[in-house]
Structure 1
Amino acid sequence: MLSDRGIAAFLFFLLFSLLLIANAVFAFLLLAAAVPALFVPKLRQRAILFLFIAVSILTSFSARTLQKRHLARLTGTPVTATGILHDLRFEDRFTSGTLLFATLKNYSGKRLTLPRTLQFTVSGNSPGLSSLLPGFSVTITGKLRKHRVYKNTGTDRTWFYLSRHRLFSVSVPDERMIKGTPTFLSRVLNKLNPFNIRVSPLNRRILRGMIAGDRNALPDAFVDKVRDLGIYHLFVVSGFHFGILFSAAYLLLLLLPVRPRTRKWAALALVTLMLPVTAFSPSGLRAWLMIFIFLLFRAREIAVSPADAVGMAGLLLLIWNPYQVADPGFLLSFLVAGAIVTAIASTDRWWQAWLKIPVLAFLAASPVLFLFFHRLTPISILVNLSVTPLVIVIFYLFFLTAIGLPLAPILDRAVSILVTVTDRVSPHTLTVWAPLPLIVLLFAATGLALLVHNKRRGFGILAAVLSISLAVSLAWRPAVNALRVPDTGQSQAILLQTHGKNYLFDTAGEWEGRLALVPWLQAIGIRRIDAVFLSHFDSDHAGGLADVADNFPVGKVYAPYLDGHSFTFNRDFSALARNDIPLILLSRLKTPEFRLPGIRLTVLHPNHAIRGKSRTNARSLVIRVKTDTTSILFPGDLDGEELAGLLHGLSHADILLAPHHGSRHAAIPGLEKTVSPRLVIICCGRHNRFHFPSTAFLGLFPKTPVLTTAAHGEITIKLKTNKGE
């Protein structure tokens, strides 16, 4: 028996990989500390093994880092990629897909990288691609792109994109530049087609998500609900599904006259077919490696504990890609699996294990949920207890239906019951935020719980630390008086925090709001938005309102007009109605000045709250906000003649948010003298196609400090109060 050495080694090298990515100096110091052990005879063998694993992880990390830098230099150049098609997703404005084992080449045919997972996108609707099936050998030609990574606290996802091979993608200009040919794998998948069964369309989509890991098949509303309930792992392929599939394949092979050892390896071979279907997900690889390690050690007559099998599987995946320590899916998969196999004893009865598993999974997942998602769902324990048996029944029913038994009506009914249960349960999600030391302590308690020999005591310690962290998180209300401007690319969002209130001015674009603004607000501990002010309903200013309204309690929303012809307005208005948030119109003549807790607002533009026939920029809401000691001017996208005509109504402001992202149309002579700001802030994206900010606008403020999100990332300006803070 390896006696927990596998899980201990995994936890140690998990920390080693994290230090290596965060700051390689600490990892090298840790590596150097093991060198003296080489000269101690009793420790020499272990030290050699330790150094071998560390050097392997270091080599993999160096190779991937050099590959990233090499591809970054090639961004924007034409490339050709060839690989196995995993999936295609048809969106409203584009089509995207994933290639497995893709090789990148330039036009001269020189290979640029080793085989890798690669994303690609095609602009517009692409009906001609519907003939491509998973398993096809596909060749695409386009430009290499680097994913936009926002420079914000808590939302820098460079490591995550590297772990999922999503930092780089290929942009294909036309669907005719994508060629596909059938392969043996595609023919096998097409012949099998286990989803051609008589169930309702909705239930078929859910089955595709559960069995094949096709997350795009699941309805968006259903995905949001099961995520809030903490049971999303049951509806996408995970180690849980691989275990059920292995047991089902083993039971089926009992009908054949083969030796037990051969039967186990044959069942593993059938499970192996699921790996490319799931795009080699961390949870799938972990489950497959666990089964493989068990069978290999048993064949060699070496006893291995389940915890050590989890640890050794994690070590192999870390050696393959150290960046996976930044993937929440990787951490959740191994921490939860390690907790379950560590604490479940062979003497436990089935009902004891059934009661333990959801509690252990919740405890082990809590540090990752704190760090990455800033939310906990305690009710997930009860939901998992009730839903998991039904999911197991659905799996076996599907397996029996796929081999020809007439059980489709029963399967359809079982999936319908599952949908009904998840639809009627309210999630009651807790939004949590805790200081980094508490999160580190929570991770340390998780590691201790996995290592101590008295498992009840170890997980008792973890439960106590989680309770303390949760209490601190729910009671923590950091008093902040600041103007914070997140990096949301070529869009705009500004957060004003004063007197314990949070006021949001614009909500960035649709994708920027979802990928940058909402995670950033959660990362800095925002639980409520007291008011949202929209300058106008262009997508780069109001596109993220729907996601903000769906993720945070919002007091009121203020806007200058209604625009039923705008897609952004209709999407935002639906979100406000869905969350019962009032929308209030502002204008200079109707609401020239009003107060909210901690601030006084003066409306300078527009005169009337109507859309009119003018440009949306010309109808922008211009407001002057006065805190205890600081005045801030928010001009939205007002520019040109409208901005020039408003100069006579402007006055001094300490901070100026650049109108229209600092465009040349906003470079109105006299603006600098009229406002005379002490600081100018410009929201714009790095290397944006509009070339914002313009040299003409920057020339207006030769002696005034100018900060841009393109150059500085997130910008934070601390504000003083009357108390002199």
Structure 2
Amino acid sequence: MKTGMFALALGLLALRWLPALPSTGWLVMLLVVALMLLPFRTYPLAFLLFGLSWACLSAQSALDDRLDPALDGQTRWVEGRVTGLPQRTGEGVRFELTDSRSRKARLPKRIRVSWRGGPEVRSGERWRLAVSLKRPSGLLNFHGFDQEAWLLAQRIGATASVKDGERLAPARNAWRDSVRQRLMAVDAQGREAGLAALVLGDGSGLAAEDWQVLQATGTVHLLVISGQHIGLLAGLVYGLIAGLARYGCWPRTWPWLPWACGLAFGAALGYGLLAGFGVPVQRACVMVGLVLVWRLRFRHLGVWWPLLLALNGVLILEPLASLQPGFWLSFAAVAVLILAFAGRLGPWSVWQAWTRPQWLIAIGLFPVLLVLGLPISLSAPLANLVAVPWISLVVLPLALLGTALLPLPWLGESLLWLAGGALAGLFEGLAWLAGLQPAWVPAEVPLGYWWLSLLGTVLLLLPNGVPLRLLGLPMLLLAVFPPQERVPHGQVEVVQLDVGQGQSLILRTRHHTLLYDAGPRTGTFDLGARVVLPSLRKFGVDRLDMMLLSHADADHAGGAAAIARGMPIQRVVGGEVEGLPAFLGTQPCVSGEQWQWDGVSFELWQWPGADNGNAKSCVLQVQANGERLLLTGDIDRAAEQAFLASPLAVPTDWLQAPHHGSRSSSSKAFLQRLAPGSVLISRGRGNAFGHPHPQVLQRYQALGSQVYDSAEQGAVRLQLGAFAAPVVARSQRRFWREGLP
């Protein structure tokens, strides 16, 4: 039976790596073959096919529920009900709409809605909204978060921004939202949002600084409801009833064991429903239920059987869960603890049981975090050593008990005040620790070295005395200090990042790195911190020789401050110094300035007659082995005309489209002189400016230029000086990307 369950899990997990989903005919054939195999005792293969078929059918259903491409970008009146917990942001409110209806159009079952400057929205309310609809999409970089996969895993078939709206009906059955409102209204010493995260799994109220502290110390799991919280509550209820029975305080006519198991599972399930029943909660509830059933029947459970059943249970309920990083981290953490505690020849002391799991978890999750591209906290073992028992034994019991006793205002609010104070003290300690040791973003590791690090991790987790166990340490270090592939002399690696309606390009020679523009920032949404800085780290860059900001517009220079805080920069050059932060120490762009790095030539140009920000853009020409790249910022037609008189106005292999392909740029004379073989366009999909303009695209097509558009192809990576075809992020096929252009 275990073999069959393992095969079923493999079939369900295989969905994560499929480049495309099989057709309906192939799926029917797989199911028929699986049924035919069952009588011949080849049930593992049959279970594998069943798992794969079910996962593919579920994924196809989610893909079919996406917004019709014909409706992409249209504005329509939509009616629907608000579900989940609406999230209040600094700029408005974000929520999910279900049961959506619109005249003469079929809409997806779930729509993720953003309302800039919107009013208070409550769960359960029914609204009529004028929204601009978009198909699910997101930024796509080589090492970044896959927003498209996340949206599909949430079964969100469209995103929308609100133009206008009216409330049609008040909230109904919105008990989770009501609890959150009560929690946010109490005095918890400034940590009301943290208590809402602990009790309800709603972290939307936490500030960005709080999330940075949690990430830097590896304690995010403590403020996002996980299996630890569910298991702790179930254990407390079971232990309470067992203790009452042992000391004769439990009614003799009620058998204590069935009651303990039933109430413990009821507490776990109730807490899970309160928390929104996410993947970690599902896994925990399944495992708690299995343990209690086996305990009720006085049978030995074993160590891996519950985890395998929980894995299958979660994936059968939601096969798309494997697209989320939290799924892998949740099950990997439990597997690490099972591997670490199983097979020991004697019990650990209290000190060992307290300290060793933290180090083992840090080692065990290292390759998982590495392959998922997530930051790694070096201070996590120390932080969790204090934070885990503090949250589990102090903050969480006080928060849950205080929430339950809110109908008794003085008592419930007093307990929540104490819980908030305990949480505030913990955050102060974690912030101090995060200041000493920020999270580490490791460089990209070759696949072979990652497999060796995984094998080394497994060896290190084995009990003492296992032969060759210590060989795991050097194998693990291969991923910590992997050999970096250097750019050949005379060439430059150019990466146009996908930063939406903005621009940022990384240029690396053999020993130097230049960043041209730093990505956009809008309010608190800083893509310099979210995309550009992590991408630099992933490419192995720990310092910049130059950050060149074409001009001061927020879509080009908005992320500069985050970059400057994140790594040393030897020199900052800008085309519009007066509009950039003073602490950057920006030097003006000087036309004619030239330099060479590792056999690659660089030269700057700026129009001296410019009188506005776009026209002042600092232009950079790069030459490597005779192959040219021209980065133009947002220059307009007048600046282009002036550029034609400069010595840089020569045929160019690669051109960054001026002003994102705007109609006010890319003039016919400019393009005919440069005759670019390929064009890079950085812009946001469905942007409000209409970039790139159809007339501009027609000019490029007339010249025979190959256009690489970040909105359609994601990030672009090319080797200037090698005269080779570039690599685009979307070339790595995944089934959830098929529906996009």
**Do they fold alike, i.e. is TM over 0.5?**
yes
Superposed CA RMSD: 4.0
- 1:605-638 Cα deviation digits (max 9, x unpaired): 1439xxx9x4321222223344453443322111
Q: Shift in Å at residue 349 of structure 1?
A: 4.0
Hey, what's the Cα distance between the residues in 1 that align with 2:464 and 2:297? 29
Distance 2:671 2:48 in 1: 63
Question: 2:441 matched to 1:431?
Answer: yes
8 Å contact kept, 1:605–1:623: no
Indicate if the aligned counterparts of 2:188 and 2:418 stay in contact, CA closer than 8 A.
no
Aligned-partner SS, 2:595: strand
Decide which moves more: 166-175 or 323-332: 166-175
Distance 1:241 1:521, change over 3 A: same
Aligned match of 1:422 in 430, 440, 451? 430
1:337 paired with 2:324, answer no
Report SS of the residue matched to 1:664: coil
Aligned to 1:294: 291
1: distance between equivalents of 2:318 and 2:140? 24
- Secondary structure of the corresponding residue to residue 215 of structure 1: coil
Distance 1:376 1:429 in 2: 6
Quick one: which of 192, 200, 207 aligns to 1:204?
192
- 1:236 aligned partner: 224
1:171 maps to 161
Alignment of 1:74-223 (within 5 A): 74-76=71-73, 78=76, 80=78, 82-83=80-81, 85-98=83-96, 102-107=98-103, 118-123=111-116, 125-127=117-119, 129=120, 132-134=121-123, 136-141=124-129, 142-155=131-144, 156-166=146-156, 168-176=158-166, 179-183=169-173, 185=175, 189=179, 193=182, 198-201=187-190, 203-223=191-211
Residue type of the partner of 2:91? R
Post-superposition Cα deviations, 1:27-50, rounded to whole Å, max 9, x if no partner, equal x89x97996996697834555544
In the TM superposition, residue 233 of structure 1 has moved relative to its aligned partner by 1.1
| Cα shift at 1:11 | 5.8
Whether the 8 Å CA contact 2:216–2:439 is kept in 1: the answer is: yes
Residue range with higher mean Cα deviation, 428-437 or 252-261: 252-261
User: 2:619 maps to which residue?
Assistant: 622
Shift of 1:274: 3.4
Give 1:19-34 correspondences, 5 Å limit.
19-20=17-18
Is contact 2:660-2:691 (8 Å) kept? no
> Which residue pairs with 1:586 in the alignment?
589
Would the alpha carbon gap of residues 353 and 703 (structure 1) be closer, same or farther in structure 2, given more than 3 Å must change? same
Does structure 1 retain, via aligned residues, the 8 Å contact 2:34–2:49? no
The question of whether the paired residues in 1 share the 8 Å contact of 2:34 and 2:47 is answered with no
* Residues 625-704 of structure 1 aligned to structure 2 (within 5 Å): 625-627=622-624, 629-649=626-646, 650-654=648-652, 655-688=654-687, 689-696=689-696, 698-699=698-699, 702-704=702-704
Partner of 2:481: 471
CA distance in 1, matches of 2:230, 2:4: 21
Shift of 1:64: 2.4
For residues 240 and 221 of structure 1, the distance between their equivalents in structure 2, rounded to whole angstroms, comes to 24
Q: Does the CA-based 8 Å contact 2:325-2:372 persist in structure 1?
A: yes
Q: Which of these residues, 509, 514, 521, is aligned with residue 503 of structure 1?
A: 514
Q: Partners in 2 of 1:720 and 1:470 — Cα distance?
A: 31
The CA deviation string for residues 206-258 of structure 1, in whole angstroms up to 9 with x for no partner, is 22233332212222112112201211111221111222233344456668756
1:261 matched to 2:258: yes
Unaligned runs of 5+ in 2: 406-410, 724-741
- TM-aligned CA distance change 1:48 to 1:89, over 3 Å: closer
2:729 equivalent in structure 1:
none
Q: State the one-letter code of the partner of 1:353.
A: A
> CA 1:45 to 1:166, structure 2 compared with 1: closer, same or farther past 3 Å?
closer
SS at match of 1:623: strand
Deviation of 1:328 after TM superposition, in Å, equals 0.8
- Residues 226 and 645 from structure 1, CA distance in 2 versus in 1: closer, same or farther, beyond 3 angstroms? same
Is the CA contact (8 Å cut-off) linking 1:363 and 1:463 kept in structure 2? no
TM-score (ref. length: structure 1):
0.82
- Which of these residues, 301, 304, 327, is aligned with residue 301 of structure 2? 304
CA distance in 1 between partners of 2:5 and 2:132 (Å): 43
Q: Matched residues in 2 for 1:690 and 1:170: separation?
A: 18
Kindly indicate whether the alpha-carbon contact (under 8 Å) linking 1:147 and 1:167 is maintained by their aligned counterparts in 2. yes
Opposite residue 636 of structure 2, the aligned amino acid is: D
Can you list the C-alpha shifts for 1:571-619, whole angstroms capped at 9, x where unaligned? Answer: xx6xxx4xxx54322244xxx41426345443321439xxx9x432122
Indicate conservation of the 8 Å contact 1:374/1:523, yes or no.
no
State the Cα distance separating 1:535 from its structure 2 match. Answer: 0.9
Q: Give the TM-score of the pair, scaled to structure 2.
A: 0.80
Letter in 2 for 1:154: H
Counterpart in the other structure of 1:486: 497
Deviation at 1:720, TM superposition (A): 2.6
Looking at structure 2, the residues matched to 152 and 268 of structure 1 have their Cα atoms a distance apart, in angstroms, of 43
- Distance change (3 Å), C-alpha of 1:151 and 1:389: closer
Query: How far apart, CA to CA, are the structure 1 residues paired with 2:140 and 2:177?
Result: 45
Please say if residues 231 and 380 of structure 1, whose CA atoms lie closer than 8 Å, have aligned partners that are also in contact: yes
SS across alignment from 1:617: coil
Secondary structure class of the residue paired with 2:304: helix
Contact 1:667/1:696 (<8 A) preserved: yes
Measured in 2, the distance between the counterparts of 1:296 and 1:333 equals 22
**What amino acid is the match of 1:424?**
W
Residues 1:382 and 1:327: Cα distance change in structure 2 (over 3 Å): same
**Preserved CA contact (<8 Å) 2:12 2:54:** no
Q: 1:442 to 1:390 in 2, by over 3 A?
A: same
- Residue 55 (structure 1) aligns with: 53
Question: Where in structure 2 are the equivalents of 1:1-80 lying within 5 Å?
Answer: 8-9=6-7, 12-13=10-11, 15-20=13-18, 43-68=41-66, 71-72=68-69, 74-76=71-73, 78=76, 80=78
Tell me the distance in 2 between the aligned counterparts of 1:457 and 1:560: 62
Q: Which piece of structure 1 moves more, 179-188 or 374-383? A: 179-188
**Are 2:552 and 1:537 aligned?**
yes
The answer for the alignment partner of 1:386 in structure 2 is 386
The equivalent residue for 2:708 is 708
* Amino acid aligned to 2:497: P
Partners of 1:477 and 1:374 lie apart in 2 by 23
Aligned-pair identity in percent equals 22
1:467 to partner: Cα distance: 2.5
Alignment deviations for residues 110-141 of structure 1 (CA, whole Å, 9 cap, x no partner): 87556x5x421113x223x2xx445x344453
Distance 1:76 1:316 in 2: 38
Q: 1:83-105: CA deviations, max 9, x gaps?
A: 45322333343321245xx3333
CA shift for structure 1 position 694:
4.2
